[in-house]
Amino acid sequence: MKNNLLIRAAHGEKVERTPVWMMRQAGRYLPEYRAIRKDIPFLELCKTVDLAVEVSLQPYRLLDVDAVIMFSDILIPVEAMGQEVQLTEKKGPELPSPIRTREQIDQLIVPDPTEKTGFVMEIIRTLRRELDGAVPLIGFAGAPWTLAAYMIEGGGSKSYGYVKQMMFKEPQNFHALLDKIADAIILYLNAQIEAGAQIIQLFDSWAGELSRKDYAEFALPYQQKIFAALKRKDTPTIMYINNSDHFLEQMATCGADVLSLDWRTDLQEARRRVGDQFTLQGNLDPCILLSTPEIIRAKTRAILAAGGGHQHILNLGHGILPMTPVENARAFIETAKGV
């Protein structure tokens, strides 16, 4: 591989410089993405191999990031499990028949990922051919608690009232749903690795809504189950949770090689709390990319200093925002690369 900085850093090896990429780096802030997206529904874009490959590669070509992440959505396997999913970038995800009963849970399937989501594997295989070893390819999936939240709420939520209602009122049903999701994600991620994904990131984006006790009961065991079951050989793994500071030590037991942190957690403090056995990823506030190139460079250098130049992958603390100017994203990447 011509540029294997990200893989080496994820494994804790010494690197010449800190690698850098951005969550949601393929997306609406890029005019080239919007030009493709205007003529095709979002879910169709996720399933159209040549177009998904093209938008996956755009940030690599335009910004020279140190990795490509396949273009997809965490709800793709939910649809494969048998629940209707509607994805629009303006309204966000909508699931018209939210899961509220044990009967609905029992009707969900654990799908064959090659049969039901074969387009994802073809996207990965095509990207590997297109990249030809230039940079690593990242595959990903959503973790059970976050996916269950979407499936039960019927979309995004501010209070997570319905998912927590089932969690507290009907914990047996909720665990049955989480376990089924975990089984599906294990197959899905193993298929991605077999297709050629070189790094795997698991997103439990909304697990930060949980207390330490509830995280330990309803999210962590399923993260651990997934990482333990991956046939990953030398494929490093990353765990991302938004707002994880209050249970960071518990998160460190999930089984991932890399802990990806949001902007609320100081990297040096995180290192003291979890020790030296992990690489840390992050964690510039995405809103800083809405400021000026000068501010971005200064803030980025501060994150790099906090990361210490070892066992650190530079990233944002959450996905890049759609209104981010491309030149500001470029300032972030170039500063990381010493340009």
The candidate with the shortest Cα–Cα distance to 82, out of 67, 64, 103, 66, is 103
The predicted pLDDT at position 216 comes to 98
Q: What are the backbone dihedrals phi and psi of residue 219, each rounded to the nearest 5 degrees, phi first?
A: -120, -50
Q: Which residues are catalytic?
A: 24, 28, 37, 73, 150
Give the pLDDT of residue 41: 93
- Residue pLDDT tens, the chain, 339 long: 999 999 999 999 999 999 999 999 999 999 999 999 998 999 999 999 999 999 999 999 999 999 999 999 999 999 999 999 998 777 789 999 999 999 999 999 999 999 999 999 999 999 999 999 999 999 999 999 999 999 999 999 889 999 999 999 999 999 999 999 999 999 999 999 999 999 999 999 999 999 999 999 999 999 999 999 999 889 999 999 999 999 999 999 999 999 999 999 999 999 999 999 999 999 999 999 999 999 999 999 999 999 999 999 999 999 999 999 999 999 999 999 997
Pick the CATH number of 5-336 from 3.30.1600.10, 3.20.20.210, 2.60.40.1220, 3.40.228.10: 3.20.20.210
Residue 302 in contact with residue 7, Cβ under 8 Å? no
Domain residue extents for the chain: 5-336
Helix, strand or coil, per DSSP, at residue 50: helix
Please give the pLDDT value at position 39: 86
pTM over 0.85: yes
3-state SS class at 195 = helix
Q: How far is CA 335 from the centre of its chain?
A: 23
